[in-house]
Structure 1
Amino acid sequence: MSNRWGVLLLLFVVRLSMAFQFQSVASMSPALMAEYKVGLGEIGLLISLYLAPGLAFALPGGEIGRRFGDKRVVLFGLVLMTVGGLIMASAPSWGWQVAGRLCAGAGGVLLNVLMSKMVTDWFAGKEIATAMAIFVNSWPAGIALCLLVVPAVTAAYGISAAVLLAASLCIIGFALLAILYRAPAEGQAASARSRWPAGSVLQAIIAAGVIWGLFNAAIGMVFSFGTPMLVERGWSLASAGSATSLVLWLVTLSVPLGGYVADRTGKHVEVMLVGFVLFAIALVVAALTTATIPAFVALGLFGGLSAGSIMSLPARVLTAEVRAVGMGVFFTLFYAICVIAPIVAGVVSSRLGTAAAGFFLGAAMLVACLPCYWIFRQLAARSRF
């Protein structure tokens, strides 16, 4: 496969399996709570554990890919995701659920870091915001698909069937990547010369990673706590999952739209910052209003506008030689924030007695993205790239 758009489609489909598996816990959270006698705090922890291995493996992930090859490492990650799913499907206790989730999450880390580098290798200097917007769209698309399918599967066939469905998508992704993917020649050459970013470049990529982490954690508040919030209001599990999935389906439209507008107009910054503000307002409204469907539609329409522009930030400061390690730094910050946020939201929600608290926390994180971008801009201006 030599056409970069064909490669992008392949990577989109493979990464979708990771999003589906990540979301599966939140989508069947009421069933897990009943089966294992746990609360929202434990569910928030289990959600976060999928991202927890990123704290250890995101930074060395780029170097591992350089030594063994991006494709081989991603395939290994898909194996770990499949094994983790099998452990969770047969888990006799909550402890085994935790073990399986950690195993699957370790594989997901390798996918996230190295596949983002793969996209950058193919699109650096080209339609990077559009390409990244399409690529990251695999996350809300996979989550929306999970929200639509997993609650119904869980209700009809049980927890194990839903977990096995997620694992089967990982197997399909493994087969597609193994057969179809190849790296661009220039990306392979750059990986051989990989080195650490330094100075203002390193500081800028740290700021960019914080922005990406806060933004994703805010989106996570919707698909992690949207379903239980609606169940609290008297919705059935299937109806609550479908309503929450509406947000993610609309995000799959707003993400590429935001990236396309940013590339076509050259106003990457304006699109990103306006997206932050509109999404924050929509989260607060959705937590307060009883007009759930209109509020969730607004969440979807505004929630993805900033994604492509954020993911294009690393390309503004990372040369090919520092890209592998730089993306590891970028995703380490992303994982740190996304691990902490659901735990905090779960604890706060438990203490306040409502899952809506997660929506307010998400709005606060989006507001925090504004000063973080100002810091990134100052550091990027000092870098030599």
Structure 2
Amino acid sequence: MPKTPNTRLWALLEEADWSGAQLAAALRHLASEHGQQLACDRSMVSRWLSGTTPRPPVPALLLEVLTRRLQRPVGAVDAGLSRAPSKVFDLSWEADPLRRLFQLTSADLDPGRRHLLGAGMYSLAALAVPATWKPREQPPTGPSLGSPRTTGRAGQAEAGQMQTMARVFAESAEAHGPGHVRTALAAYLGHDVTGYLQASATADLRRHLRSGAAQLTVLLGTMCAGDGADALAQHYHHTAVQLAVEAGDTATFAIALRTMSAHAHDLGHHTPAALNLAERAADASCHAAPVVAAYAQAHHNRHATLTALAASERLYEQASTFPGPFTHYPAGALHYQRAQTLATLGDQAGATGALTASLRLRTPAERQASTLTRARLAETLLTPTTAPECCPAPDSSGHPPLTLRTP
């Protein structure tokens, strides 16, 4: 039977002012971002326009490139791909973070469903955190409606346990790499933490439990990013922001925003949304501990960036830190952040000196950070001097928030 032309995809191409060849080029570029090779050309696009349904992973790639080009969400139905899912997991800010955390960890641990996570694409649209979002003064009054389980107990011991586990997982990732740790952390979040979050508790305890869950989720997202699972990392970071908002945890909210911005910068997305995340993180950290504020400083022009860097160093000198991925910021990490800022500003000599200082200050326990810092130093030495670009958040190196995210 004759195929029905895909008039919706035609309309989107016209709105995007793209030819078939330009769409094919954008699809190949996006696939390469995710470590995939896509054989796609103008003739293939013509077949889709004539009514042929593209095979996975093309539908997910197609929706993301059109979303980026048109700067608005484009769903499967919008593109005439009604038989393709518009999204693997809900990245809207209205979604229930506890339910999504349960769904993500369940799929992450199930070999039969893990392919769903790989089918997702890193979304630039999801970087736009609503301007009205900020940590609540009061956490939700009870268990999340429609959540996966309604049993379990939680008290101060469980809240303390979550803080200890965050430190254990962060130290293990630093010593052995994120790929050996993230599955265990996903299991802990999916099997234990989601149960704690649904138990009856006082308002103060609910706040501590959600705060701990947000920190563990940031940590897991950062491990996924270090392992090359960028779309999954974004889902976890997105969920962590929501949990921090519900917990009224300004510090973790700032760290999660800053981590999302650094991840986007790492992937080469120097977009206004990524820059806005960095600036909102800096604003949110104003009332946080100095160590958090030192981590969150970031701006997008030369003068503001140098000012923020100086402020970060002053805040670091004032900080009283304690062991843990969200309360400790190593001196080597501060020098790494300085190097990234100077490199972005075009000061190659300054960046080289800062990276050398960072390596000198690394402790034997900072194995992954030392390795990645050496790699960055080699890149800096091999990179020809170029004109400075605008200054988004310094990029990351696959590390957890304060101790590893900026290694």
Q: Is TM more than 0.5 here?
A: no
TM-score norm. by structure 2 comes to: 0.26
Q: Which has the higher contact order (CA 8 A, sep 6+)?
A: 1
Higher Cα radius of gyration: 2
TM-score norm. by structure 1 comes to: 0.27
